[in-house]
């Protein structure tokens, strides 16, 4: 199994996909065309999303073929060289994937070795569920079950901050609510600019920031690039 799970597409002050682009190019080396899943887009069209990603993927000569152009989505999944799942609203993304009935087909292909790249909502979709997304449920999917490619949950765009004057819950408090009701799951707080790369049974943190791992009845723990993260597969 080969996964590239990216916290965010764009760092503050940078161009679109600037920070993960070298990692994506290296990860997809030898791939000529990817099947793009744009369904997290809400305030812009799927065509616009496809063109935006294509502009960056042109830099390493990869064609972006959006699944919304295909009359038979399952055939497109079965023939894809690689999958790229873009960010946006995770609930919209999951609902449309469910409507196309491609969760099991895509999961089988990825478990069989087809590369998977996802950022933000696309990273959430690699988890067992989308329950650790930051997004509002603007649509109602049939369930929260996602591709289940990894055993742990990801919280992309993870923030430590508690803004001055803000009396609402912090991100950490929200995650603690999740693990209180799902005590057997790890949740990875993946900070912006960070990437998790999975190659077979190996998992590597890319970038220059640490990540934070949450587990019920345990203190959150920081792991930096180079640390062993294999326990996340236990």
What residues does 3 pair with on adjacent strands?
116, 198
Q: Specify the pTM.
A: 0.96
| DSSP β-ladder status, 153-156 and 195-199 | unpaired
pLDDT the model gives residue 234: 82
Give a three-class secondary structure readout of the chain.
CEEEEECCCCCCCCCCCCCCHHHHHHHCCCCCEEEEECCCCCCCCHHHHHHHHHHHHHHHCCEEEEHHHCCCHHHHHHHCCCEEECCCCHHHHHHHHHHHCCHHHHHHHHHCCCCEEEECHHHHCCCCECCCCCCCCCCCCCCCECCCCCCCEEEECCCCCCCCCCCCCCHHHHHHHHHHHCCCCCEEEECCCCEEEEECCEEEEECCCCEEEECCCCCCEEECCCCCCHHHHC
- 112 catalytically annotated: no
Instruction: Show the domains of the chain with their CATH numbers.
Output: 2-150+190-208+224-233 (3.40.50.880)
Q: Which of 7, 66, 68, 135 is catalytic?
A: 135
Q: Which of 7, 9, 120, 123 is catalytic?
A: 120
- 19 catalytically annotated: no
pLDDT the model gives residue 162: 72
pLDDT the model gives residue 208: 95
* Per-residue pLDDT reduced to its tens digit, 80-93: 999 999 999 999 99
> Is-contact 86 64, C-beta < 8 A?
no
Q: Please, what is the Cα angle at 213 between 212 and 219, to 5 degrees?
A: 100
pLDDT the model gives residue 106: 98
Q: Which of 157, 182, 210, 216 is catalytic?
A: 157
pLDDT the model gives residue 169: 85
pLDDT the model gives residue 168: 75
Could you read off the pLDDT tens digit of each residue along the chain, which spans 234 residues? 999 999 999 999 999 999 999 999 999 999 999 999 999 999 999 999 999 999 999 999 999 999 999 999 999 999 999 999 999 999 999 999 999 999 999 999 999 999 999 999 999 999 999 999 999 999 999 999 999 999 999 999 999 877 777 777 899 999 999 999 999 999 999 999 999 999 988 999 999 999 999 999 999 999 999 999 999 998
């Amino acid at each position: 199994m080969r996964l590239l799970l990216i916290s965010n597409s764009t760092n503050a002050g940078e161009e679109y996909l600037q920070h993960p682009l070298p990692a994506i190019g290296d990860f997809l080396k030898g791939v000529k065309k990817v099947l793009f899943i744009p369904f997290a887009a809400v305030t812009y069209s799927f065509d616009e999303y496809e063109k935006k990603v294509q502009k960056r993927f042109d830099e390493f000569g990869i064609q972006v073929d959006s699944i919304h152009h295909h009359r038979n989505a399952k055939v497109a999944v079965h023939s894809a060289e690689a999958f790229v799942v873009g960010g946006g609203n995770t609930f919209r993304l999951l609902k449309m994937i469910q409507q196309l009935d491609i969760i099991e087909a895509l999961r089988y292909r990825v478990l069989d070795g087809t590369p998977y790249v996802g950022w933000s909502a696309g990273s959430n979709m690699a988890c067992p569920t989308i329950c650790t997304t930051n997004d509002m449920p603007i649509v109602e999917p049939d369930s929260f079950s996602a591709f289940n490619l990894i055993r742990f949950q990801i919280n992309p765009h993870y923030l430590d901050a508690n803004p001055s004057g803000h009396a609402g819950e912090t991100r950490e408090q929200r995650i603690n609510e999740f693990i209180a009701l799902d005590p057997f799951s790890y949740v990875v707080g993946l900070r912006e600019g960070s990437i998790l790369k999975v190659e077979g049974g190996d998992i590597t943190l890319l970038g220059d920031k640490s990540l934070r791992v949450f587990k019920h009845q345990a203190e959150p723990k920081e792991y930096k690039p180079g640390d062993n993260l294999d326990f996340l597969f236990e």
